[in-house]
DNA sequence: GTCTATACTGAGATAGAC
DNA sequence: GTCTATCTCAGTATAGAC
C-alpha cells in the first residue's frame, strides 16, 4: 500500500522531511510525548501535509518504523539464509540462529544510534501490538522454524513460549539504559549486549522440557 | 508520601471510587486510551476531584499501580525469606529464587484477572520507566543479591544483564496474549506460563560466562 | 497531485467560589 | 473537599490555492 521506492513522483521532499523529524523526535521523547505540531515545526511543513501523506498519527509512526525495521529484518533473513546454507542437511546450531536474529540489530545500532531507541520505544511503549505484529510476524515465524529445526526434541508449544521469552528479553535489552549498578561500563556497546543475550538465550532454549508440565499431547 | 492506610480521614469514598474506575478502565483500554473524563464518569465524581486527590493523570496511575503491586512485591519478599531461611548457610537453588519472584504474580493473577492486564499494560505501555523503576527497584535489588548468592561464579556485570533479560522476558510473558500458533491451549494458565519461564531462565542464568567477552576486570 | 490556512472537538490542567 | 468555568494544546477534518 505504501510506495516504498522513490522513482515515482520524484520524492516530494515534504514526505521525507516529515519522516526524518518524526523519527528523531519519537526516538528522543517517545511516541505519546511527541506531538504532530512538534514534528511539523521541525520539518517546516504544514500540519495538514502529515494527514495528506500518512493519515493519522499512528500511520505516520507505522511509516517511520517500517523505514527502519524493514532493512534490519531483511538483514536477518539473509544472515539466516547463510547459516542454513552452511548447515546443509546437518544440524543447526542454536547460537547461529540466535545470532542471525540479534546481531543485525547491533550492526544497525552502530551506524544509526537513533535506531535502537526507536525500536526500544516501539516495543516498550504502547505502540500498538498490532503494529509490532505487523512488522515482526513474518520474521518471528521464520526464526521459530529455524529454532525448531535446531532443537527438534522440544515440543512445539514449549518452543513457542520460549520464543516469546526471547522477544521480551530482546526488547528490554535493546531499550535498556543500564542503570543498575555495576553495568555502567558497556552501556553503549550493543554488540556485546547482544552477544551476552545469545549466550543466555541459547542455554534457555536448550533447557530440557519440564516433563512435569502438562503438555504431553503435543508433537 | 501517599497515605496508604484508611484510618485517617475515614476514607473519602471519592478517592477509592476514582481508583477503582481508573484501574478497571486502564486494564481494559490502556493508559493513553483512557481519559480522565471516562474515569470520572464511571466513578461519578467531578474531574477536579482527580486533581485534588492525585494531581496529574500520571500520578493517578502511580496510585493505581501501587495499590496492586505493593502486595505482590511483599509476597515475593516473604517467599524469598522462606527460601533463604530454608537454605540456611548452604547454597541457594536458582529455581527457588526465580520461583519466589515469578509465582506470586501467578497467584495474584488467579484471584484478580485485572491485575495481569494492568501489570502488562504498565510494563508494555509507555508508563514511565521512572514509575516502573520506583515500584520495582527495591525488589529487583533484593533478588539480584539472592541470585548472586545462588550463582557466585558469575561476574556481577554479567549477572546484572541477565537480570534485565529476566525482567524483559517476564514482562512480555505476563502481558502476552499468545497468538502464535500452537499455544492457544494454555493461554489463561498463568501458573504454567510462569513455571515454563522458571525453567527457561534458570538455564540462562546457569550458562557459563562467556570468557571471550571483555569483562575480566569485574569481581 | 501537493500543500496551506483554518476550524472543530476533546484532552489535561488550574483558579477560585462555595 | 467539591464543583464551575476556563485555559491551553492535542489530533483531526475540510476547503481551496497552486
Residue B11 — very low, low, confident or very high, per pLDDT cuts 50/70/90? low
Residue B113 — very low, low, confident or very high, per pLDDT cuts 50/70/90? confident
Give chain C positions with protein CB within 7 A: 1-7, 10-16
Q: Which residue has the cell 523519527?
A: A23
Q: Is A64 a residue whose pLDDT tops 70?
A: yes
Do residues B21 and B43 make contact, with C-beta atoms less than 8 angstroms apart?
yes
Of B161, B163, B199, Cβ closest to residue A207: B199
Q: How many Cβ atoms are within 10 Å of B29's Cβ, its own excluded?
A: 13
- Concatenate the DSSP letters of all residues of A135-188 into one string: HHHHHHHHHHHHHHHHSTTS-HHHHHHHHHHHHHHHHHHHH----STT-STTTT
Give the percent of chain A with pLDDT over 70.
Answer: 81
Q: Is A130 a residue whose pLDDT tops 80?
A: no
Beta carbons within 8 Å of A43's beta carbon, 6+ residues apart: A14, A17, A18, A20, A21, A22
Residues of A in contact with B157 (CB under 8 A): 182-183, 185-186
Q: Report pLDDT for B110.
A: 76
A47 CB inside 7 Å of strand C: yes
Give the percent of chain A with pLDDT over 90.
Answer: 60
Instruction: Write out residues 65-84 of B within 8 Å (CB-CB) of A.
Output: none
Q: Report pLDDT for B150.
A: 98
Q: Report pLDDT for B135.
A: 85
Please classify residue A111 by burial: count the beta carbons closer than 10 Å to its beta carbon, then call 0-12 exposed, 13-18 middle and 19+ buried.
Answer: exposed
Highest mean pLDDT among A129-138, B60-69, B145-154: B145-154
> Which of B209, B201, B186 is CA-nearest to residue B100?
B201
Beta carbons within 8 Å of B156's beta carbon, 6+ residues apart: A182, B148, B218, B219
User: For all residues of chain B together, what is the average pLDDT?
Assistant: 84
Please tell me what DSSP assigns to residue A216: T
Average pLDDT over residues A179-191: 59
Do residues A213 and B192 make contact, with C-beta atoms less than 8 angstroms apart?
yes
Q: Report pLDDT for A128.
A: 59
Cβ <8 Å between B157 and A185: yes
Q: Report pLDDT for B1.
A: 43
Alpha helices in chain B (DSSP H): 14-29, 36-43, 47-53, 57-87, 94-111, 113-124, 129-150, 156-175, 190-206
Q: Report pLDDT for A5.
A: 43
Residue B207 — very low, low, confident or very high, per pLDDT cuts 50/70/90? very high
Q: Which has more pLDDT, A12 or B216?
A: A12
Average pLDDT over residues A2-17: 60
Residues of B in contact with A199 (CB under 8 A): 207-210
A51 CB inside 7 Å of strand D: yes
Nearest nucleotide to the CA of A50, by C1', is: C3
Distance, Å, A130 CA → D6 C1':
38
pLDDT tens digits along B18-28: 999 999 999 88
Q: Report pLDDT for B8.
A: 41
- Concatenate the DSSP letters of all residues of B176-214 into one string: ----STT--TTTT-HHHHHHHHHHHHHHHHHSPP-TTSS
Beta carbons within 8 Å of A80's beta carbon, 6+ residues apart: A97, A100, A101, A142, A143, A146
Q: Report pLDDT for B5.
A: 44
Q: Report pLDDT for A111.
A: 78
Average pLDDT over residues B160-173: 92
Q: Which has more pLDDT, A31 or B85?
A: B85
Residue B126 — very low, low, confident or very high, per pLDDT cuts 50/70/90? low
Chain A residue closest in CA terms to B120:
A126
Residue B68 — very low, low, confident or very high, per pLDDT cuts 50/70/90? confident
C-alpha cell at B94: 536458582
Q: Report pLDDT for A4.
A: 44
Q: Report pLDDT for B117.
A: 75
Average pLDDT over residues A57-72: 92
Residue B4 — very low, low, confident or very high, per pLDDT cuts 50/70/90? very low
Q: Is B212 a residue whose pLDDT tops 50?
A: yes
B36 CB inside 7 Å of strand D: no
Q: Report pLDDT for B159.
A: 96
Residue A107 — very low, low, confident or very high, per pLDDT cuts 50/70/90? confident
C-alpha cell at B73: 512485591
Distance, Å, A26 CA → D7 C1':
27
A46 CB inside 7 Å of strand D: no
Q: How far apart are CA A39 and CA A24, in angstroms?
A: 9
Nearest nucleotide to the CA of B52, by C1', is: D1
Q: How many Cβ atoms are within 10 Å of A177's Cβ, its own excluded?
A: 9
User: For all residues of chain A together, what is the average pLDDT?
Assistant: 85
Instruction: Write out residues 110-129 of B within 8 Å (CB-CB) of A.
Output: 124-126
Cβ <8 Å between A186 and B30: no
Distances (CA, A) of B145 to A39, B94, B156, B160, B190: 44, 12, 10, 10, 26
Q: Report pLDDT for A127.
A: 57
Q: How many Cβ atoms are within 10 Å of A137's Cβ, its own excluded?
A: 12
Q: Report pLDDT for B3.
A: 44
A177-186, A190-199, B28-37: least confident range: A177-186
A219 CB inside 7 Å of strand D: no
Q: How far apart are CA A210 and CA B166, in angstroms?
A: 19
Helices (H) and strands (E) in chain B, counts: 9, 0
Q: Report pLDDT for A184.
A: 53
Q: Report pLDDT for A174.
A: 83
Q: Report pLDDT for A213.
A: 56
**Hey, is A124 helix, strand or coil?**
helix
Cβ <8 Å between B178 and A160: yes
Q: Is B144 a residue whose pLDDT tops 60?
A: yes
B7 CB inside 7 Å of strand D: no
C-alpha cell at A95: 547460537
D5: residue with closest CA to C1': B48
Amino acid at each position: 500500500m505504501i510506495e516504498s521506492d522513490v522513482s515515482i513522483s520524484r520524492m516530494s521532499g515534504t514526505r521525507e522531511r516529515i519522516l526524518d523529524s518524526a523519527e528523531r523526535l519519537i526516538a528522543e521523547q517517545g511516541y505519546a510525548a511527541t506531538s504532530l505540531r512538534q514534528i511539523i515545526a521541525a520539518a517546516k511543513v504544514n500540519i495538514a501535509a502529515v494527514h495528506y501523506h500518512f493519515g493519522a498519527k499512528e500511520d505516520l509512526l507505522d511509516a517511520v518504523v517500517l523505514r527502519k525495521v524493514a532493512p534490519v529484518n531483511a538483514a536477518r533473513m539473509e544472515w539466516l539464509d547463510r547459516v542454513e546454507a552452511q548447515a546443509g542437511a546437518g544440524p543447526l546450531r542454536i547460537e547461529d540462529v540466535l545470532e542471525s536474529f540479534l546481531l543485525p540489530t547491533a550492526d544497525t545500532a552502530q551506524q544509526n544510534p537513533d535506531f535502537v531507541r526507536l525500536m526500544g520505544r516501539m516495543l516498550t511503549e504502547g505502540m500498538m501490538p498490532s503494529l509490532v505484529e505487523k512488522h515482526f510476524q513474518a520474521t518471528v515465524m521464520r526464526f521459530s522454524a529455524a529454532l525448531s529445526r535446531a532443537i527438534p526434541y522440544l515440543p512445539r508449544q514449549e518452543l513457542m513460549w520460549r520464543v516469546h521469552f526471547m522477544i521480551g528479553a530482546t526488547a528490554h535489552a535493546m531499550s535498556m539504559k543500564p542503570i543498575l549498578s555495576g553495568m555502567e561500563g558497556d552501556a553503549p556497546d550493543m554488540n556485546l549486549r547482544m552477544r551476552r543475550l545469545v549466550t543466555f538465550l541459547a542455554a534457555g532454549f536448550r533447557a530440557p522440557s519440564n516433563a512435569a508440565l502438562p503438555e504431553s499431547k503435543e508433537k
